[in-house]
Structure 1
Amino acid sequence: MKADLRGLSLQTLAVLAAGWLTACDFPHGAGGPGNPSGYATAAAEIGDIREVIPAVGPVRAATEVEIGAEVTGRILEIHADFNDPVSAGDLLAQIDPAPFESAVAQARATLAAREAAARSAAANLDDARAQAARLERLAASSAGRQADLETAQFRVRVLEADLQSAQANTNLSREALRRAEIDLERTEIRSPVDGFVLDRRVEQGQAVNALQSAPTVFVVASSLDRMLIEANVPEADINRIAPDMNVRATVDANPGRPFPGTIRAIRRAPVTQGRFVSYVVIIEADNRMGTLLPGMTASVEFVRAEARSVLRIPIEALYFEPPGFTPDLPADAIERFERSTGQVLPNDPHLRRATLRGLDMGILASNGLRRVFVPGDDGSPEAREIRVGGEDQTHIEVVEGLEEGEEVITGHGG
């Protein structure tokens, strides 16, 4: 893969590259300049450039609702089966309502008794208030005793507290009845959405237990026109995924028919299996043709670069240099380098050549160019500057500088 060097200064490029090139500058294999059989070559050809990041993941419906039992009991009736169309509110299954009907009847009876107790407390309070009022009038005319008035007033306060307690008990009983009625309603398992039954997980007569968690009894999908793929991307590749990246996926049921997808979310929560860490990328795919089914495993390709029918060469050609190659740089480029670094080029021929090669690499990169070598008329390598485009793991696109069929040197022959 080529390095992205355009953001670096010429000085930095020269210094960094000189060390690397010095380490790599040694005699290579058999052959050499003037011996065409000493080099491996490849022809510039028309082909495709595809750099992809692979991943796999399960397929599920985009709008999938799990419906659980909210009360504990025995499934008395089942009214929907696999693939049945349903509307919001349709009855899917019935849990035996008898225990819940009994609880409702008991709660109603308790409420009635406490309402009666509250009415009795209110009547007693009204009587006590009337008696206290009579005693107040007698006490005002000095015809009654003060002690009798105080006793009556005390009784009023006691009965007021009794009435408040009876009213509170009535409210508690009313809420208990409401809760019992809600539980009775929940014995009817109904669909919350329009769609069709994707999965049924209970049988008639089966007991469901909702004391610890709500068990899923039905799965309803509103549509399979849109599907989601939960692609597991290895941690080494997750930072190379971009939200606007093109995505293609295939399934084993239709291996030759890739379908496009759109990235909807890149989840940050890691998925760890042993020493393997991955991250889930949610992909939405159009499934109006109906080729995708929930539960399938999709092979996904995140496309980083793609170009079809372009001129390309093997990427190894970018990294070949004949032994002893020294670029011919303009004098002003060398002067700028020496002025910016405050140093002159090394006197040692080996270090001088490595520095010039690093500086040359920076100049080419800053102009969007790369250098390859082609066999000359006498078979010796000749330098050629080319402008490149996209690349993948094996090839790089040539925008200009080569013609189809021209040979480029990719390495030293055996």
Structure 2
Amino acid sequence: MNFETTISTADGYVGSGDLDETKKRRNIAVALVVVIALAVAVYYFFFAGSGADAGAEGKQSQAQTVSVLIPGNGVVEREINATGILAARREIPVGVVGEGGQVSRVYVDAGDWVQQGQVLASIERSVQIQQIAGMQAQINAARADLNLAQNELDRALQLVERGFVSKTDVDRKTANRDSARARLGVADAQLREMRARTARLDIRAPVGGFVLERNVETGQTVGQGSGMLFRLAQGGEFELQAQLGEADLADLSTGVTASVTPVGTERVFNGTIWQIAPMINEQTRQGIARISLPFDRALKPGGFANVEIKAGSTTAPLLPESAVQNDQKGSYVYLIDAKNKVVRREVKIGDVTPNGLIIQEGLTGNERVVAYAGGFLNPDETVNPRLVKPSAIAR
């Protein structure tokens, strides 16, 4: 037998099938509420708490990346580059010192070494030789007169004691003896003078050194107005007369080393500054630093040469040229501060070296400096810095 169970409610009766459907719907609704609650909790846990940080990171990720370097401080050898003329350190012109005449012989040529007093050229002296011979004969005659006068005086002195000769005769003979002695002295002095004049017909080197120039030939007539016949470099010492600005001259002193390279050759000669000009040219605003050089036939006086002068060392930061900007206010660089913001810094530029620009003022060497492309940045702009080594940047 089958029985059907019914439940009575205020509104009427509900069957068992209807009850199951109602429970199912209620369970689904509860599950949906739980899923939504879990989703909200997950959202707040992962996203709501880090929303500000995410915004900052997004903003940072959008900033442009720039290369920065920390220059540090290094010892920089300061070099001054200049040009100048090669010359003899002490140039000695040699000419005629006597009466002159016809050159009978030239003994040296340009490029020869000579000693002090060495004969460079001789002037014909046949007339002077005859004059010397005549003066020598006069000396012989004066000496004979002196001997005769002395003998007469000696005899008179012997006879005056016996009364055969008066004292007046003795005085006269004494005077004759003295006069003969004086004439001999005059003749001897004239002979020495003539010999000295004749010796001056030999053109001699006043100092030892290197013959730079010869301007006389055999058979040429020379005299006081003939000018320079030879030009000598005393001791064979050369120099470079470097033209420098007054600011560079102020930084130099005697004894500073320099490297000289003559034009047309790759040879380098080491020298030292031995004299600095005490005056500055009013038109060019330059002066001369004289650099002594050892003798070498490759050095040609009158030629040009380049010189590098070691002007001492300094400790300062070095930056590549790409890191330095310029405007109407002067030179400046861009730094990156602790907040990765761009900061402008005024700097004073020193000399240019093979390793970069010397920064005389404005940096300590510990800053993060924008290496290049600074022209595309603005102060207070946020950037993404990327540290690079100074050696990795083209100077």
Q: TM-score range by the shorter chain?
A: 0.5 to 0.7
Deviation larger for 311-320 or 70-79? 311-320
Structure 2 unpaired stretches of 5+: 1-62, 380-395
Deviations 1:99-134 (A, max 9, x none): 221221232122223222322322332233233222
| Alignment partner of 1:242 is 2:253 | yes
Query: In the alignment, what sits opposite 1:379?
Result: 341
Identity across matched positions, percent: 23
**Map of 1:7-406 to 2, 5 A cutoff?**
51-53=78-80, 56-62=83-89, 66-71=93-98, 72-84=100-112, 91-135=119-163, 152-190=166-204, 197-210=211-224, 215-220=227-232, 227-235=238-246, 237-254=248-265, 257-266=267-276, 268=278, 270=279, 275=283, 279-286=287-294, 288=296, 290-305=297-312, 311-312=318-319, 374-376=335-337, 377-381=339-343, 391-392=350-351, 394-396=357-359, 400-402=365-367, 406=371
Contact 1:250 1:300 in 2 (8 A): yes
How has the CA–CA distance of structure 1 residues 238 and 222 changed in structure 2, closer, same or farther, with 3 Å as cutoff?
Answer: closer
**Distance verdict in 2 for CA 1:317–1:55, change over 3 Å:** closer
Task: Determine if contact 2:111/2:210 at 8 Å carries over to the other structure.
Answer: yes
**Change over 3 Å in CA distance of 1:271–1:79 after alignment to 2:** farther
Alpha-carbon distance in structure 1 between the residues aligned to 2:88 and 2:177? 57
**Is the 8 Å Cα contact of residues 51 and 391 (structure 1) preserved in structure 2?**
no
**1:329 corresponding residue in structure 2:** none
Q: Return closer, same or farther for 1:188/1:246 CA change in 2, 3 Å cut-off.
A: closer
Q: Aligned partners of 2:187, 2:376: CA distance in 1, in Å?
A: 90
Q: 1:121–1:159: 8 Å Cα contact kept in structure 2?
A: yes
CA contact (8 A) 1:43 1:408 kept: no
Q: 2: distance between equivalents of 1:190 and 1:403? A: 72
Contact kept, 8 Å, 2:139 with 2:184, in 1: the verdict is yes
- Report the Cα offset of residue 403 of structure 1: 6.9
Amino acid at match of 1:104: I
Q: In the superposition, relative to structure 1, how do residues 88 and 286 fare at CA in structure 2: closer, same or farther (>3 Å)?
A: closer
Query: How large is the Cα RMSD of the aligned pairs?
Result: 4.9
Scaled by the length of structure 2, the TM-score of the pair is 0.58
Q: Which has the larger radius of gyration?
A: 2
Contact 1:381 1:409 in 2 (8 A): no
Aligned residue for 1:102, secondary structure, equals: helix
Distance, in Å, in 2 between the alignment partners of 1:197 and 1:278 is 31
Q: 1:319 to 1:85 in 2, by over 3 A?
A: closer
Equivalent residue pairs, number: 302
SS of the residue corresponding to residue 255 of structure 2 reads coil
* Structure 2 CA distance for partners of 1:196 and 1:283, relative to 1, 3 Å: closer
Q: Per-residue deviation at 1:95?
A: 0.6
Report how far residue 193 of structure 1 moved.
6.9
SS in 1 for 2:189: helix
The alpha-carbon distance between structure 1 residues 235 and 104, as it changes in their structure 2 partners (threshold 3 A), is: farther
Cα deviation, 1:238-280, whole Å, max 9, x if unaligned, reads 43321232323333223x5553321123354x476x6557654
Partners of 2:369 and 2:260 lie apart in 1 by: 32
Alpha carbons of structure 1 residues 279 and 161: separation in structure 2 relative to 1, 3 Å: farther
Gaps of 5+ in 1: 1-36, 139-148, 323-370
In 1, the alpha carbon distance for the partners of 2:251 and 2:376 equals 30
- 8 Å contact kept, 2:87–2:300: yes
Deviation of 1:201 (Å): 1.0
How far residue 301 of structure 1 moved from its aligned partner, in angstroms, is: 4.0
Q: How many Å apart are 1:70 and its aligned residue?
A: 2.7
Q: CA deviation at 1:314?
A: 6.2
TM-score by length of 1: 0.56
Q: Compute the displacement of 1:57 (Å).
A: 3.7
Letter in 1 for 2:311: R
Q: Which amino acid aligns with 2:231?
A: V
Spell out, residue by residue over 1:312-338, the C-alpha distance to the aligned partner (whole angstroms, 9 max, x if none). 366997999x9xxxxxxxxxxxxxxxx
Q: 1:182 to 1:382 in 2, by over 3 A?
A: closer
Q: 1:383 to 1:248 in 2, by over 3 A?
A: same
Query: In structure 2, do the counterparts of structure 1 residues 156 and 286 end up closer, same or farther at CA, with 3 Å as the change threshold?
Result: same
Distance 1:80 1:161 in 2: 54
Shift of residue 181, structure 1, vs aligned partner: 2.0
Q: Which has the higher contact order (CA 8 A, sep 6+)?
A: 1
Relative to structure 1, the CA distance from residue 407 to residue 314 in structure 2 (aligned partners, 3 Å threshold; closer, same or farther) is same
Query: Which range is displaced more, 73-82 or 96-105?
Result: 73-82
Following TM superposition, by how much is the alpha carbon of 1:302 offset from its aligned partner in structure 2, in angstroms? Answer: 3.3
Shift of 1:200: 0.9
